[in-house]
Amino acid sequence: MGITRRIFLRNSALTVVGTAAVPSFLARAAWGAAEPATRTKRLVVIFQRGAADGLNIVVPHAEPQYYAMRPSISIPRKDVIDLDGFFGLHPSLAPFKPLWQQRQLAIVHAAGSPDPNRSHFDAQDFMESGTPGMKATDDGWLNRSLRNLQHGSPRSPFEAISMGPSIPRILSGLEPAVALNSINDFTVGGHNGKASPLASTFEAMYGHSLDTVLHSTGEETFDAVKMLKSADPAKYQPAPGADYPRGRFGDSMRQLAQLIKANLGVQVAFADVGGWDHHVNEGATQGQIATVLRDFSQSLAAFWTDLGDLGEDTVVVTMSEFGRTARENGNRGTDHGHANVMFVLGGPVKGGKVYGRWPGLDQSQLYEGRDLALTTDFRQVLGEAVARHMGNKNLSEVFPGYENQPGKFLRYLG
């Protein structure tokens, strides 16, 4: 089965290959992308590790208490990028404003995990397992979300990808997943004719399988990876206007866009970005939070531009283990808090709106007298993406113990 000229030209990773023979696995994936009825739906999850300060990210600039509690680190109203007269973006999130105006970006405020734990390790574990307060959960919710989905035949080993050196908690489980620290490191030929350790391990996993279908998938996947390598990832050119910043997160999003555009059958993907734990000298319009927000927003905006029309079938959700205290501390920073903010970006998203009930910042409205109170469970947001976008309606399996009734952020009628 051949690749259509439109698909061939749209995906630069393939275009560079020219007239090279197309592996059957890759041809099937590209053909599927060309047919609307069989297009791959993708869910990309971004974890902001370190507990991001949601109140300085999406600023309640019409809330007087916000400025009273943060005399040195609040974002001045004149500098806030206003969204709806009450909320506004930190100025370093300027790349998000066009996405908001195009109604592709939604915001969920006062969201997060209902568990009161303020430990980074435990809170991240709970959000990645999808079972707050339960330490006995063996697998991650993103891995469980792959069950009951429609998969290609044969299944692609690239259905679940983590951009990093190892499989994170969120993707651990029975469903296969691949961790890629760098496409350039995934060398099939290696140096001096020797395969890299990563490629060798991957080839052993799939090439020596006793299952004939999996064996075939492994061989064809290696054909696809060889084809991707022959395109020279170092020379990959993002779409016009996709200006990725230098750094780990920008590189991860750039490579993830490349993998998606290569039609390798990616269905779920994960990446994380650190640097959010600002106990000291957090800053306001300048400083630590401004720097990390600039990298965060530029990377995601470039990724979205790079995807082009593939964005119509992609949803990106951001999350962090918990928020920060409503008041700044004595070191001009913030301490571990409770509720936070989530971004939802995608073609199917009902964007241009801040979702969630705002609890207020008066003393009587704060959680435990110190934090933004939680009004939206993070599993509600993720559950809608899993059920309405990805098509996995069995949310009781993805988020056991949580009664999920999605229906706010996406255009689908379900």
The residue with greater pLDDT, 134 or 158, is 134
Domain ranges of the chain: 40-186+235-368+385-398
Q: Name the strands in the sheet holding 58-59, side by side, starting at the edge strand that comes first in the sequence.
A: 58-59, 88-89, 81-82
Rounded distance between C-alpha atoms, residue 337 and residue 333, angstroms:
12
At residue 182 the predicted structure's pLDDT band, cuts being 50, 70 and 90, is confident
Is the pLDDT assigned to residue 353 strictly greater than 50? Answer: yes
What is the average pLDDT value for the chain, to the nearest integer?
84
Among 223-232, 295-304, 375-384, 389-398, whose mean pLDDT is lowest?
223-232
Q: Quick one: which H or E segment has residue 368?
A: none
The residue with greater pLDDT, 124 or 182, is 124
The residue with greater pLDDT, 18 or 324, is 324
Rounded distance between C-alpha atoms, residue 11 and residue 30, angstroms:
10
- Helix, strand, or coil (residue 370): coil
Spatial contact of 41 and 387, defined as CB atoms under 8 Å apart: no
Rounded distance between C-alpha atoms, residue 374 and residue 27, angstroms:
47
Find how far residue 224's CA is from the centre of its chain.
Answer: 24
Q: What is the CATH number of domain 40-186+235-368+385-398?
A: 3.40.720
How many beta carbons lie within 10 A of that of residue 68, not counting itself? Answer: 12
Q: Residue 269: CA atoms inside 13 Å, Cβ hemisphere, count?
A: 27
At residue 405 the predicted structure's pLDDT band, cuts being 50, 70 and 90, is confident
Average pLDDT over residues 353-367: 97
Among 68-82, 222-236, 239-253, 392-406, whose mean pLDDT is lowest?
222-236
**φ, ψ dihedrals at 182, nearest 5°:** -165, 135
Residue with tokens 């052993």: 204
What is the pLDDT at residue 371?
98
At residue 264 the predicted structure's pLDDT band, cuts being 50, 70 and 90, is confident
Average pLDDT over residues 153-180: 89
The residue with greater pLDDT, 301 or 15, is 301
What is the pLDDT at residue 199?
53
pLDDT digits (tens, 9 = 90+) for 31-52: 334 444 468 899 999 999 999 9
Rounded distance between C-alpha atoms, residue 224 and residue 228, angstroms:
6
pLDDT digits (tens, 9 = 90+) for 207-244: 444 344 344 445 555 665 666 666 566 678 999 999 99
Rounded distance between C-alpha atoms, residue 401 and residue 130, angstroms:
10
- Helix, strand, or coil (residue 320): strand
**φ, ψ dihedrals at 202, nearest 5°:** -65, -40
What is the pLDDT at residue 148?
84
What is the pLDDT at residue 212?
42
Find how far residue 232's CA is from the centre of its chain.
Answer: 25
Is the pLDDT assigned to residue 115 strictly greater than 50? Answer: yes
What is the pLDDT at residue 156?
77
Average pLDDT over residues 137-145: 96
What is the pLDDT at residue 18?
27
Q: DSSP labels for 88-119?
A: EE-GGGGGGHHHHHTT-EEEEEEEE-S-----
What is the pLDDT at residue 404?
84
Average pLDDT over residues 243-269: 94
What is the pLDDT at residue 10?
34
Residues 6+ apart with CB under 8 A from 262: 11, 13, 14, 26, 224, 228
What is the pLDDT at residue 194?
46
